[in-house]
Amino acid sequence: MTFFTVSDLPAADMLPGITRRAVYLDNVMLTFFDFEPGAVVPEHAHPHEQITYVLEGAMVFTLGEETRTLRPGDGVCIPPNVPHSASILDAPTRALDAWHPVREDYK
C-alpha cells in the first residue's frame, strides 16, 4: 500500500464505541481511532512503543500514575509495558496512534 484515504481503510470495531482503521509498512504502523462520547479504553499495557495524538474532541488519558485531559493538538508518548487508559469526554473524538513495532493484531 503506498497511497491511502483513511475513510477507505477497513474499519474494525475494537471496543464499544471505538472504531479503528490501520495502515502499515514492515516496521511502522498508524492507527486512526474514532471514539463515541463516553467510550472507555480500559487500563492495559503492551510491548509496543506508542504515540497518541488527538485530532478532535477530548479524552482523559492516564499514563502510569499521571492523568491529563488531551485536546486537539495534544499527545502522549507511551513507552513499552507502561499501563495506560483513556476515557472519552462528551464529544466524538478522533485520535491518531503511531506504533513500533507493528501490532500484528491490528492489521
pLDDT band (50, 70, 90) for residue 1: low
**Residue 27 neighbours by CB distance under 10 Å:** 9
User: Reduced to 3 states, what is the DSSP secondary structure of residue 1?
Assistant: coil
pLDDT single digits (tens) 53-85: 999 999 999 999 999 999 999 999 999 999 999
Q: Where are the domains of the chain?
A: 10-106
Please answer whether residues 97 and 30 qualify as being in contact, where contact means their C-beta atoms are separated by less than 8 angstroms.
yes
- What's the whole-model pTM score? 0.94
Here the cell at position 104 is 500484528
CATH 1.10.150.120 assigned to 10-106: no
